């Protein structure tokens, strides 16, 4: 390349766990914490993170030299990039690609750009700033991600170890890199070069992708972990459903099985994915709010930027002005973008109750700039995104080779290995395989790990569970269309099998699961049946629903452990999504009660039906439990009712705020549970008052 550059030894630490997601500088290495979902709606400019001082890597470059600025990209957003040099106050001193346009708008999959440093400009500590548009989320192109690297620009550098990033030797300003390191300055690192780097217990697999590390260790059965160095008690990757007490069809291409191994105080989870991409499952306790995002050990809460001086302004060429007001940089579009980024796609895709369409995790939808159903984004007890503060396990497989690791997701950035947050990998055994396009992943971990930095305990209670699987060519799903759909890419196979990049709008969701509960199986001949979860020894449950068919009517009793002024509900749907669902909601407060027939047409509060097709309604609150009862016909002439003469998915929800005087309800803090399969009610002629049967699955 003919350019000279050097990097301080601090750069070495930044190479250990290069990961994936929207945008993050890889060379020069980004500031820490190097999250990849730093946007101008949620984080302060011009970098999303403040200068952390001596703990940040500083890359030394030569005046007038040229270099390839590279960046990690996990979502091929439409739009281009800008690369600027800022002074310590955040002011642009050199726009290396100009300020009158965006570069690389014709290639949304590009992940590097050559720049030439200005002649005569020297700095001991300045900032290289990358701005990457997500133009599909704003008509003006004003929604951006940013990432910064701290740099020093000098008249000359020494040809020594630091020139090669501390990972090679320098001769004639050429680097001879250490094993697994590569690049002009030994700035990139793979996990392996061959099987010997995988302890000879696996193979070194080249994912043929664009993320780092590109070459990764995939383990043989009987081994797992970093460099396949740990012995696994699991060696058979064939999933036997009869061994598990919990079964959850998360998606028509992803099924989860689970069982508690009491003698080991562990949980075993199996994921069966009809696809060749990664499979991921995450969990967290119910009741967390946005304050949990501040718990990134050693780091700061995203959304605060105390180290940037007040009063600075940062102009963008298209007229968007980002202003530092009281220490926080904010976008001039602010609220407007936040709504635009989220609500549009949210309405289009719908909230997936068996999978709350996360929005993107990254998750585009409410995904990019949007907020989750009316909640604030940061702090203050606000609702949180499904990806926020989630303990996650991700598995990948190639033939009989596999890898499974313990991750944590602080926010919508790509999940990072637990080590990134000061935690440990607490997987105790794992195995996996991918045969004929079907991936099987099985792993075990302790119910309680003691890792408060990056794990959540598995308790006998409902937990909020998220899931996803990787999208692979040619089945890509972006909403709105990304650069791939807009055909502004050079790499149509941007998503390679097993690369941990954006999963796609259809390949993720959220639900609620108690891993200690047995899976319910409903007998279609039973006139009476029901569902419950998280019951105590006295038989009181977190939620319980019972129904009895009586001729052309069905009687329901629904209860949940909620406070006064909180609602309970049951719904009926032809799929696992909230839109187009028939819902009955009831609540009790100090003024009385309501039980109302509603219809959810979108990801919003279900509207009260003009026709209330309920009879014998009642509600009571005793000993911390609200119970509602009602009768409804199997079939009505109301177009907002879902008939029960066909098999339907049942939705079980509770816990949101309610005001009886106005018949209003608020957002559910716990993701509703969806029946694992369609529930079929028996024929009216077979149920004129008889009793029924509830069956649970017992492990064989």
Q: With contact defined as beta carbons under 8 Å apart, do 85 and 127 qualify?
A: yes
Task: Tell me the average pLDDT across 675-689.
Answer: 84
Residue tagged 């009712």 (tokens): 641
Confidence of residue 675 (pLDDT cuts 50, 70, 90): confident
Confidence of residue 346 (pLDDT cuts 50, 70, 90): very low
pTM score above 0.85 = no
CB under 8 Å to 572, separation ≥6 — which residues?
581, 582, 583, 642, 644, 648, 649, 650, 651
Answer CATH for 520-696 from 3.40.720.10, 2.60.40.1210, 3.30.930.10, 3.40.50.1000:
2.60.40.1210
- Model pLDDT, residue 336: 28
Question: Does residue 15 carry a pLDDT above 90?
Answer: no
Question: Does residue 296 carry a pLDDT above 70?
Answer: no
Task: Tell me the average pLDDT across 148-168.
Answer: 94
Q: Kindly report, residue by residue over 528-567, the tens digit of the pLDDT.
A: 899 998 888 888 899 999 999 999 999 999 999 999 999 9
Contacts 24+ apart (CB under 8 A), 313-316: 314/45, 314/46, 314/90, 314/91, 314/92, 316/142, 316/144
Q: Which residue has the higher pLDDT, 382 or 573?
A: 573
- Model pLDDT, residue 53: 78
Residue 54 gets which letter from DSSP? G
Mean pLDDT in the chain?
Answer: 82
Q: Kindly report, residue by residue over 404-416, the tens digit of the pLDDT.
A: 999 999 988 999 9
Question: Does residue 9 carry a pLDDT above 70?
Answer: no
- Model pLDDT, residue 557: 96
In this structure, which topology does domain 233-287+388-513 adopt according to CATH?
Immunoglobulin-like (2.60.40)
Q: Counting Cβ atoms within 10 Å, is residue 538 exposed (0-12), middle (13-18) or buried (19+)?
A: exposed
Residue 30 gets which letter from DSSP? P
In the chain, pLDDT over 90 holds for what percent of residues? 61
Q: Kindly report, residue by residue over 27-61, the tens digit of the pLDDT.
A: 999 998 899 999 988 888 899 988 877 778 899 99
* CA 61 – CA 157 distance, rounded (Å): 8
Task: Tell me the average pLDDT across 202-220.
Answer: 96
Question: Does residue 309 carry a pLDDT above 80?
Answer: no
Give the CA radius of gyration of the chain: 27
The domain ranges of the chain are 5-182, 233-287+388-513, 520-696
Question: Does residue 106 carry a pLDDT above 60?
Answer: yes
**5-182 maps to which CATH number?**
2.60.40.1930
Q: With contact defined as beta carbons under 8 Å apart, do 26 and 185 qualify?
A: no
């Amino acid at each position: 390349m003919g350019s000279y550059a050097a990097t301080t030894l601090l750069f070495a630490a930044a190479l250990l766990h290069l990961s994936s997601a929207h945008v993050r500088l890889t060379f020069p290495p980004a500031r820490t914490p190097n999250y990849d979902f730093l946007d101008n709606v949620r984080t302060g400019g011009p970098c999303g993170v403040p200068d952390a001082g001596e703990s940040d890597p500083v890359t030394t470059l030569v005046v007038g030299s040229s270099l390839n600025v590279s960046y990690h990209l996990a979502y091929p957003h439409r739009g281009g990039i800008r690369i600027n040099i800022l002074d310590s106050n955040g002011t642009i001193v050199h726009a290396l690609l100009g300020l009158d346009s965006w570069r690389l708008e014709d290639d949304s999959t590009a992940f590097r750009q050559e720049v030439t440093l200005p002649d005569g400009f020297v700095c001991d500590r300045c900032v290289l700033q990358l701005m990457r548009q997500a133009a599909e989320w704003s008509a003006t192109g004003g929604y951006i991600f940013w990432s910064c690297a701290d740099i020093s620009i000098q008249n000359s550098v020494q040809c020594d170890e630091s020139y090669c990033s501390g990972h090679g030797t320098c001769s004639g300003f050429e680097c001879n890199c250490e094993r697994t390191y590569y690049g002009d300055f030994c700035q990139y690192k793979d996990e392996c070069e061959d099987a010997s780097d995988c302890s000879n217990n696996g193979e070194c697999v080249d994912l043929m992708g664009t993320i780092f590390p590109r070459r990764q260790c995939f383990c043989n059965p009987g081994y797992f972990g970093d460099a396949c160095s740990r012995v696994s008690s699991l060696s058979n990757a064939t999933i036997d459903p009869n061994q598990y007490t919990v079964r959850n069809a998360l998606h028509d291409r992803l099924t989860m099985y689970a069982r508690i191994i009491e003698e080991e105080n562990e949980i075993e989870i199996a994921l069966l994915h009809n696809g060749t991409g990664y499979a991921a499952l995450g969990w967290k306790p119910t009741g967390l709010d946005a304050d949990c995002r501040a718990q990134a050990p050693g780091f700061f809460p995203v959304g605060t930027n105390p180290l940037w001086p007040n009063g600075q302004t940062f102009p963008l060429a298209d007229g968007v002005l980002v202003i530092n007001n009281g220490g926080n940089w904010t976008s001039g579009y602010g609220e407007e973008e936040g709504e635009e980024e989220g609500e549009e796609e949210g309405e289009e895709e719908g909230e997936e109750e068996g999978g709350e369409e996360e929005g993107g995790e990254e998750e585009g939808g409410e995904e990019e700039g949007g907020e989750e159903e009316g909640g604030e984004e940061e702090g203050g007890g606000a609702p949180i995104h499904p990806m926020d503060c989630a303990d996650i396990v991700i598995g990948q497989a190639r033939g009989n080779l596999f890898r499974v690791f313990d991750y944590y997701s602080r926010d919508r950035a790509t999940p990072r290995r637990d080590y990134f947050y000061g935690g440990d990998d607490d997987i105790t055994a794992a195995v996996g395989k991918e045969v004929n396009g079907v991936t099987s992943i099985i792993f075990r971990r302790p119910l309680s790990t003691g890792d408060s930095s990056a794990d959540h305990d598995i308790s006998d209670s409902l937990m909020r569970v998220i899931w996803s699987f990787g999208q692979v060519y040619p089945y890509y799903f972006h909403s709105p269309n990304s650069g791939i759909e807009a055909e502004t890419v050079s790499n149509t196979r941007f998503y390679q099998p097993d690369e941990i990049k954006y999963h796609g709008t259809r390949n993720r969701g959220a639900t609620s699961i108690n891993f200690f509960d047995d899976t319910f199986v409903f007998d279609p001949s039973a006139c009476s049946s029901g569902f419950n979860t998280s019951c105590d020894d006295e038989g009181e449950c977190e939620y319980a629903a019972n129904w009895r068919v009586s001729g052309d009517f069905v009687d329901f009793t629904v209860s949940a452990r909620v406070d006064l002024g909180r609602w309970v509900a049951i719904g009926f749907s032809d799929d696992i999504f909230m839109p187009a669902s028939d819902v009955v909601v009831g609540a009790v407060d100090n003024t009385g009660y309501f039980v109302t027939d509603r219809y959810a047409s979108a990801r919003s509060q279900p509207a009260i039906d003009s026709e209330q097709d309920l009879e014998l309604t009642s509600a009571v609150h005793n000993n911390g439990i609200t119970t509602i009862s009602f009768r409804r016909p199997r079939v009505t002439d109301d177009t907002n009712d879902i008939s029960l003469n066909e098999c339907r998915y049942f939705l079980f929800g509770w816990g949101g705020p309610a005001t009886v005087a106005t018949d209003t309800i608020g957002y559910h803090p716990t993701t509703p549970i969806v029946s694992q399969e369609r529930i079929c009610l028996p024929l009216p002629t077979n149920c004129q008052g008889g009793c029924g049967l509830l069956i649970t699955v017992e492990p064989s």
